[in-house]
Amino acid sequence: MIRLLFIADDSRAEPLTTALSSAADFHLHRRPLIAAASGALAAGAFDACLLAPGQADAEAVQQVAATRAALPRQAVIVILPPPASSGDQSRFMAAGADLVLLAPVDTGALAATIRRLAALPTPFAPALPPGSAVPFPEAGSTPPPSHDPGLSSALEVLRDFSQVLGYSLDYRQLTHHFVLKLREVIGVTRIAIFLEPGAVDALPTAAPPDTSRLPCAAAIGLPADLAGCFMLSRTSGIGRQLTLNPQILRAAATGFLDPGIAREFEVLGGQVAIPVHDRERTLGAAVLGGRITGGEFPDAELLLIYHLLEELGLAVKNSWLHHQLVGSHRLFAGVLDAITIGALVAGPDLSVLYANRAIVRYLGKVDPGRADFADLPVPIAQKLHEVVEKGADIAPFFHEPPGTAGPVFRVTILPLRNAAGRLPQTAMVLLEDFTQIRTAQRAEIEASNLRLVNLIARRFAHEIRNSLVPLTTHQQLFDAEIGNAEFRESLKQALARETHRIQRFTEQMLFLAQTEAPPAEVASLEELLRSSFENSRHFSGTGGELEIVSEVSIPKLRCHRPSLAHAFEEIFLNGLQSAGPAPRLTVAVASAQRPGGGAELVLRVRDSGRGFAPESAGRAAEPFFTTRNTGVGLGLTVAQRVIEAHQGRLEIHPRTSPTDSDLVIHLPFAR
């Protein structure tokens, strides 16, 4: 990772800031003046410095000279704004710049140049003999001083006390006080703890933070600007070494394969780096400076500090989980408070744990914190009590407060069951204002009823008028033709035919309006079919034949005989009127298995006509639907209603082949 100091205060530098910040291997730290990063510069925290002055004037030249003085070993790059010239480039090169570019510059080429200049060897880079990082001094080095029993005892006490830290909720404050206490006990010049970014106040499903970089969470003994801009990385240096091999690192060790380790020890003034664990993975690292007394760290003491940092890691992890819970709670509380549906949560003791603004408004309260169970209307409170105390499941219901024009609420009570399923339990009440919906529904029902009344009136008037035409004609000729025998016979037939038509229409209306009649008698299916066919043929005034084909012994049916006979009459009459001259109807009787279990009778009805058209088959049983000029379109509607009242069903199909049935009737066997 390349740590780049960017000195610029001009808005024209924003594209460069965006481009360099987006590069994975750049950590960009922007400041308006070189003096604003003096502490970090003194520690050598940066690999390169990029300056973009607003003008190529003497002040900018002095800024470059000051930068070179603060960064004697790092690359210094200057980008001059227009209308800078080659002479300006020479002045800035003389002031100490390694490279001077004229704006505009290609950001990709600039990034590549910075990488090349930052990778050049520097005087502080240690030799790199073969071998891996050695966490402790090699054999034969100066042995550490003897272990202080009093100090170890203090560290053991602090380690035991650190278990309490797992309950802390603010990991930054926790880490800060931990650093203060640790420095007080072990007496070091400086401590810096680097941790991956903590969880934000959001749902756990939100985009996770970038854990490849380890910013400084707490530090003591370091300049504030250095602690604010310097971070470790999991891809290089100390952060990478501790992530891959979580052992204690000493700056005095030789043979580091990664030169960034020695560089970061030098910048931070550290002597030891210790991983911070949560007992599952490495969360970060702690870098310790030398002792105030100048002594070294014994192994036993570093081991105790390692365990202390492990307890700190557990506390930090718990703090992140707390932040996630807080974020989720705030989000859901904000959503519940913003929605227009009233929400109230009652605890096992029926105390109100939560009430949003909508339900407080519905209940006529002002302060949400003062909502009480007693504020709920009695019907809602009673059902809520049943859910909380008895664990009852209550279906959603409507509540209308007393009053002729009051609001209408749809009430849903949801049990929030605990893991053990114990009673009493917590429950939530949802109140939805259905006033406008109910008003619209009522208006639609009234409009629908009015349309239905108009339709019935038109069909009723049409049917009665059809019956009155022949009667009125005979009435007008009555005085002049009463002595004519032929006229008297015609009058007799007209009276019989039209009164029967009116009677049939009346029966249709009655069957449509009456409640379901229980199947109280047992009747022969064959006798019922034939008598119904004869009545239908008599009414239609045509001939016709009925053929009954049965695959089983024709059984008896338990039914309400008058209504079922009327249903068959309507079905046969529909077939006779559609079959043309010399109509012929066929009823095929078979048995089948009911969908829910048990046997049933299946009657397949077919006439000698063309059958139902595809566009009319789906609507044939609708009230008042007809394709003929006579009738009101209630025949198949009444038949379907009667058959369903006998626990059966009527199916109407268009023909897809010449042998298909027109209607299929399903009826249960008599029990």
59 within some domain: yes
Q: How many CB atoms lie within 10 A of CB 28?
A: 19
Boundary residue ending a domain (369, 404, 433): 433
pLDDT for the residue 513: 65
332 within some domain: no
Q: Taken in order 502, 505, 510, 511, is the CA torsion positive or negative? A: positive
Which of 317, 279, 334 minimizes the C-alpha distance to 169? 317
- Position 87 confidence tier, pLDDT thresholds 50, 70, 90: confident
Give per-residue pLDDT as tens, 380-422.
Answer: 999 999 999 988 899 999 888 776 567 888 899 999 888 777 8
Give yes or no: residues 58 and 154 share one domain. Answer: no
Q: Which CATH number fits the domain that encloses residue 275?
A: 3.30.450.40
Give yes or no: residues 81 and 114 share one domain. Answer: yes
Query: What is the Rg, in whole angstroms, of the alpha carbon atoms belonging to the chain?
Result: 47
Distance of CA 162 to the CA centre of its chain: 40
- Position 135 confidence tier, pLDDT thresholds 50, 70, 90: very low
| DSSP letter for each residue of 500-547 | HHHHHHHHHHHHHHSPPPP--EEEEHHHHHHHHHHHHHHHHT---EEE
Higher pLDDT, residue 215 or 160: 215
pLDDT for the residue 604: 92
476 within some domain: yes
Q: How many CB atoms lie within 10 A of CB 197?
A: 14
Q: How many domains does the chain have?
A: 5
Give yes or no: residues 658 and 532 share one domain. Answer: yes
Give yes or no: residues 22 and 87 share one domain. Answer: yes
Mean pLDDT lowest for which of 41-50, 195-204, 400-409, 661-670?
Answer: 195-204
Q: Which CATH number fits the domain that encloses residue 583?
A: 3.30.565.10
- Please give the Cα distance from 210 to 93 (Å, whole number): 38
Give yes or no: residues 162 and 306 share one domain. Answer: yes
Give yes or no: residues 524 and 640 share one domain. Answer: yes
Give yes or no: residues 158 and 305 share one domain. Answer: yes
- Please give the Cα distance from 201 to 571 (Å, whole number): 70
- Position 127 confidence tier, pLDDT thresholds 50, 70, 90: very low
143 within some domain: no
Range of the domain at 571: 514-668
534 within some domain: yes
Give yes or no: residues 178 and 204 share one domain. Answer: yes
Give per-residue pLDDT as tens, 279-322.
Answer: 888 999 999 999 988 888 898 999 999 998 998 898 888 888 88
Helix (H) and strand (E) counts in the chain: 19, 23
Q: What are phi and psi of 98, to 5 degrees?
A: -80, -30
The CA angle 455-461-465, to the nearest 5 degrees, is: 150
Beta strands in 260-417 (DSSP E): 272-277, 282-288, 342-346, 352-355, 397-399, 409-416
Higher pLDDT, residue 632 or 413: 413
Token representation of residue 53: 């002055």
Give yes or no: residues 156 and 281 share one domain. Answer: yes
Boundary residue ending a domain (118, 135, 165): 118
- Please give the Cα distance from 69 to 34 (Å, whole number): 11
176 within some domain: yes
Q: Which CATH number fits the domain that encloses residue 391?
A: 3.30.450.20
141 within some domain: no
